[in-house]
Structure 1
Amino acid sequence: MIEIIAIDTPSLGDRSYLVEDGETAFVVDPQRDIDRVLDLAQVRGLRITDVFETHIHNDYVTGGLALARVTGAAYHVNAADKVSFERASIEDGDVVEVGPQMRVRALATPGHTFTHLSYVLESPGRVPAVFTGGSLLYGSTGRPDLLGPAHTGELVKRQYASAHRLAEILPDDAEVYPTHGFGSFCSATQSDADRSTIGREKRINPVLTQQERDYVDSLLAGLDAYPAYYAHMGPANSAGPGLPDLSAPKTADPAELRSRIEAGEWVVDLRSRTAFAAGHVAGTLNFGADGNFATYLGWLIPWGTPLSLLGDTAEQVAGAQRELVRIGIDRVEAAATGTPEAWSGAAPLGSFHRADFGELAMVRHHRPVTVLDVRRNLEWARNHIDGAVHIPLHDLLGRLGEVPSGEVWVHCQAGYRASIAASVLAAAGRRVVAVDDEFDRAALAGLAMATG
Structure 2
Amino acid sequence: MEDPMGFADDHLIPLVDAGLGNSAYLVDLGDGRALAVDASRDLRALREAAERRGLTVAFAADTHLHADFLTGALQLAADDGATVLASTAGHRAFPHSALADGDETDLGGLTLRALATPGHTDEHLSFLLLDGARELGVFTGGSLIVGSAARTDLLGAARAEELARAQYRSLRRLAELPDATAVWPTHGAGSFCSAPPGAERTTTIGAQKQTNALLAAPDEDTFVRDLLNSLGSYPAYFDHLAETNRRGPAILDAAPSLPTLSAAAVRELIGQGAQIVDVRPFPDFAAGHIPGAVSIPLRDQFATWLGWLLPDDTPIVFVTAPSQDLAELTWQALKIGYERLTGHLTMDAWTIDDGEQETIELLTADRIGDRPVLDVRQQAERAAGHIPDSIGIELGELAAHADQAPSGAVVHCGHGERAMTAASLLRRAGRHRLAVLTGGPDDWAKATGHALKAGA
Matched, 1:200 2:207: yes
Matches of 2:436 and 2:304, distance apart in 1? 20
Residue type of the alignment partner of 1:384: H
Q: Distance in 2 between matches of 1:253 and 1:390?
A: 39
| Paired position in structure 1 for 2:266 | 257
The question of 1:308 aligning with 2:347 is answered: no
Deviates further, 308-317 or 3-12? 308-317
Tell me the SS of whatever aligns to 1:384. Answer: coil
Q: Does 2:50 align with 1:41?
A: yes
- Secondary structure of the corresponding residue to residue 242 of structure 2: helix
CA distance in 1, matches of 2:59, 2:259: 37
Aligned ranges for residues 41-440 of structure 1 at < 5 Å?
Answer: 41-99=50-108, 101-123=109-131, 128-168=136-176, 170-212=177-219, 213-244=221-252, 246-261=255-270, 263-313=272-322, 316-337=325-346, 340-344=347-351, 345-360=353-368, 363-364=369-370, 369-405=371-407, 407-427=408-428, 428=430, 430-440=432-442
Q: Which moved more, 1:328-337 or 1:144-153?
A: 328-337
1:22·1:46 contact (CA, 8 Å) conserved in 2?
no
Does the 8 Å contact 2:307/2:336 carry over to 1? Answer: yes
Higher mean C-alpha displacement, 151-160 vs 38-47: 38-47
TM-score by length of 1: 0.91
Aligned letter for 1:317? L
Task: Report if aligned partners of 1:246, 1:321 keep a CA contact under 8 Å in 2.
Answer: no
From the superposition, tell whether residues 42 and 449 of structure 1 become closer, same or farther in structure 2 (CA, over 3 Å).
Answer: closer
Q: Distance in 2 between matches of 1:93 and 1:49?
A: 21
**Measured at CA, do residues 259 and 386 of structure 1 come closer, stay the same or move farther in structure 2, by a change above 3 Å?**
farther
Partner-residue secondary structure (3-state), 1:250: coil
Q: Distance in 2 between matches of 1:422 and 1:221?
A: 30
Shift of 1:277: 1.6
Would the alpha carbon gap of residues 385 and 37 (structure 1) be closer, same or farther in structure 2, given more than 3 Å must change?
Answer: closer
Structure 1: segments with no counterpart, 5+ residues: none
C-alpha distance 267-278 of structure 1, shift in aligned 2 (>3 A): same
Matched letter for residue 73 of structure 2: G
Distance in 2, Cα, partners of 1:299 & 1:353? 25
Contact 1:260 1:267 in 2 (8 A): no
d(CA) in 1 for partners of 2:300, 2:283? 13
Q: For 1:41-92, what per-residue CA distance to the aligned partner results, in whole angstroms no more than 9, with x for missing partners?
A: 2332223221111001111111112212322222111111122112111111
For residues 238 and 195 of structure 1, what CA distance do their matches in structure 2 show? Answer: 27
What is the percentage of aligned positions where both structures have the same residue? 37
1:179-221 Cα shifts (integer Å, max 9, x gaps): 1113111134333213311111111111222223333222211
**Residues of 2 paired with 1:90 and 1:41: CA distance?**
25
Deviates more, 1:69-78 or 1:320-329: 69-78
The residue type paired with residue 191 of structure 2 is S
Query: Whole-Å Cα distance in 2 between the matches of residues 9 and 242 of structure 1?
Result: 21
* Cα distance in 2, alignment partners of residues 349 and 17 from structure 1: 45
Counterpart Cα distance in 2 of 1:263 and 1:411: 33
Task: Give CA deviations for 1:338-366 in whole Å, capped at 9, x if unaligned.
Answer: xx232232134322222233322xx21xx
What CA distance in whole angstroms lies between the structure 2 residues aligned with 1:87 and 1:32?
17
Separation of aligned partners in 2, 1:291 and 1:388: 28
Distance 1:347 1:291, change over 3 A: same
Q: Is the 8 A contact 1:374 1:421 kept in 2?
A: yes
* Counterpart Cα distance in 2 of 1:303 and 1:71: 29
Q: Structure 2 regions of 5+ residues with no counterpart?
A: none
Corresponding residue pairs, total: 441
Separation (CA, whole Å) in 2 of partners of 1:387 and 1:14 = 36
Q: CA deviation at 1:436?
A: 2.0
1:221 and 1:313 map into 2 onto residues whose CA distance is 45
Deviations 1:375-395 (A, max 9, x none): 233444454333323322112
Looking at structure 2, the residues matched to 126 and 4 of structure 1 have their Cα atoms a distance apart, in angstroms, of 16
Change in Cα spacing, 1:330 to 1:133, as seen in structure 2 (3 Å) is same
CA contact under 8 A between 1:31 and 1:326: conserved in structure 2? yes
CA distance in 1, matches of 2:77, 2:258: 27
Compared CA separation, residues 237 and 314, structure 1 to 2 (3 A): farther
Do the aligned partners of 2:263 and 2:355 also contact (CA within 8 Å) in 1?
no
> What RMSD, in angstroms, separates the aligned Cα atoms of the two structures?
2.2
CA distance in 2, matches of 1:380, 1:218: 20
Once superposed, which parts of structure 1, at least 4 consecutive aligned residues long, lie more than 4 Å away? 124-127, 446-450
Instruction: Identify if the C-alpha distance between structure 1 residues 190 and 21 changes in structure 2 by more than 3 Å, giving closer, same or farther.
Output: same
Q: 1:134–1:141: 8 Å Cα contact kept in structure 2?
A: yes
The answer on whether the counterparts of 1:65 and 1:75 sit within 8 Å (CA) in structure 2 is yes
Q: In 1, Cα distance between the equivalents of 2:234 and 2:153?
A: 10
Matched to 1:252, the amino acid is L
Q: Which of 23, 26, 36 matches 1:18?
A: 26
Separation in 1, partners of 2:122, 2:316: 34
Bigger shift: residues 52-61 or 315-324: 315-324
Q: CA deviation at 1:372?
A: 1.4
